[in-house]
Chain A
Amino acid sequence: MKLVKSLLSATLIASLSMGVAQAGDVLDSIMSNKSIKVATDANWPPQSFINDKNEMDGFDVDVAREIAKRLGVEVEFITPSWDIITAGNWNRRWDMHVGSMTPTKKRAEKLAFPAIYYYTPAAVGVHKSSSISTVAGLSGKKVGTGTGTTFELYLQKNLSIDAAGAPKFTHQIDNAEIKSYETSTIALDDLRLGDGVRLDGVVSSLPVFLEAIENGYPIKVVGDPIFYEPLAVTIDLGDAELDAKLKDVIGWMQKDGTLSKLSLKWYGVDYASVK
């Protein structure tokens, strides 16, 4: 009996210690392998998507490339689904996530956010022929958004952004009938079918709406941005050295204007700082 107990506790300790990254481990292996594995989404133009040459491209991808360049390592992209990334506990499958993630309190329990690299305005879009003209006008209506996103939390009136420097906001939409999609681009496909056919409105980031409108979607953006989402580079918990290093690199990219330049390249607007 005693033997069984000690065996059990030994395996328990072993399995627990294996799960947690040792301080400095991740950074050390990035530097010694000369390669960093970056997780990002392939479904989120213009942040990250697959381009004409069937390669990853976009603002987030460029930022990740720039970080790797400044670390002096190669970059490799992988594209797990969003909920797997936010689940945390990456176990070194990838070292860093550059995919426009908002640092919320809940996520900070599972993940670490070394630095914010830009802010996107979140906005509300409706069909062109819709009579809704204010953000609050979507109260009680069918509103689509991406599942597990801050937009969904906003609609559930559950969003709290606690990152330093993020502007305050209020929940303006009451009792929306929330329809959650795999990504909000699919919600836009439903919205384009017509006003109220499947959706009355969509909550997503302003750049996504602008991109869709440019591609001929019959939608319009309503009111002012509902909140400014600070978006951060994300790493797994437990490696303070990698955290500090990324803080340095992002701070450097902010100071010398690289982030503003990349933002202008992809969005035509400088989102690297809040107006």
Chain B
Amino acid sequence: MIQDTVTDALLLRKPKFVISVLVIVFIAFFIGDPSLTAMGHFLEPVIGDPAESGLYGRFATSLMLAIIFVINLLLISQIPVFKYQVFVVWAELVVLFLTFFYSFNLSFEFIQSKIWFMITQGIFTTLYVSAISIAIASVIAVVGAVAKLSSNGFAFAIASFYTSFFRGLPLLMQVYLIYLGFPQLGFVIDAVPAGIIALSLCYGAYMTEIFRAGIMSIDDGQWEGSRALGFKFGLTMRKIILPQSIPLIIPPTGNQFIAMLKDSSLVSVIGVWELMFLARTLGNKTFNHMEMLITAALLYWAMTMVLELIQSRIERKYRKQTSR
């Protein structure tokens, strides 16, 4: 959003607002009944045994939690610098999140014994499958976008059939169809190439539309200008149109890559030992399913955070180039 000099009074400075937040949070806690949590335990001197404190205990713990919540809100609103405010809220959320997982009573020993394998085998496979797929998908997307924009009926028909088909099927089904279907035609492909083909074709279809929109957003005058200079189609595309549309294409493509990283988990059904497959299988012998699922979840999250960071860097670079 644009920063301007018009400021409203802070909502949290209005007593009415603060009280209504307090009431809503209190009701939410009251419905959840926190009397048996750590907070109930903490209030034991006041309410007695939490398990037998009944409605009073429920009331007291809910009120206590709601008050802490609101005080926390007010304190955070006092932090003057935007950056620190964000940091504090993030830190609080992360702590809450980790306590939530911690309360599952997980075996950290088990996680420790498996995490290195999950990284070297799981993350490695996930990353290279996604990276190869996104590279192929980008090539498909450029060709598809050009075909969709061309006045050649044949090219348009093929490209639109392709995008319609591959956007219209669930990716899981495409994985199965390619893995089981190709051999019927005499091409026996292994699991990893089959997964890469499925991911490339599916994301190629989505990215065709992104590239098409990017190319279309360039003013007709650019085409006319390059035509007047005597540029042929290929040269116009390479030197004039694509460089201008890339800043528009990059953000949604980054999104697609992040989405693909997660969708690559679908190739686990054909037996590729990537992160999702390991998450489902490693804990099976000792029934440590939760441990592996949560570890994999955090690893996926970490990967996408890194990718988001990279994406914002690239975006910033292109924005600098084009801004005045």
Contacts and interface: CB of A to CB of B under 8 A. Distances in A.
Interface string B268-299: 01110100011011101111010000000000
Nearest to A14: B186
Interface residues of B, number: 28
Interface stretch (A88-96, A109-117, A252-260): A88-96
Contacts of A87: 180
The secondary structure that dominates the B interface is helix
B185 interface: yes
A181 B270 CA distance: 17
B301 to A, nearest CB: 22
B289 A81 contact: no
A50 B281 contact: yes
A215 B185 contact: no
12 contacts: A42-B281, A43-B281, A43-B284, A49-B285, A50-B278, A51-B285, A79-B271, A84-B180, A84-B270, A91-B188, A185-B287, A217-B287
B270 A15 contact: no
A49 B284 contact: yes
Contacts of B280: 43, 182
Contact of A80 (B117, B271, B281, B282): B271
Contacts of B176: 84
Contacts of A268: none
B186 A45 contact: no
A15 B182 CA distance: 11
Given A79-B271, A81-B269, A50 B186 contact: no
B3 interface: no
A80 B287 contact: no
A189 B186 contact: no
B188 A15 contact: no
Contacts of B284: 42-45, 49-50, 183, 185
A91 B180 CA distance: 10
B285 A19 contact: no
A219 B271 CA distance: 30
B183 A91 contact: yes
Given A92-B188, A185-B287, A189-B289, A50 B183 contact: no
Contacts of A49: 281, 284-285
A108 interface: no
B191 interface: yes
Nearest first, the 5 closest Cβ-Cβ pairs linking A and B are A80-B271, A91-B183, A42-B281, A18-B186, A79-B271
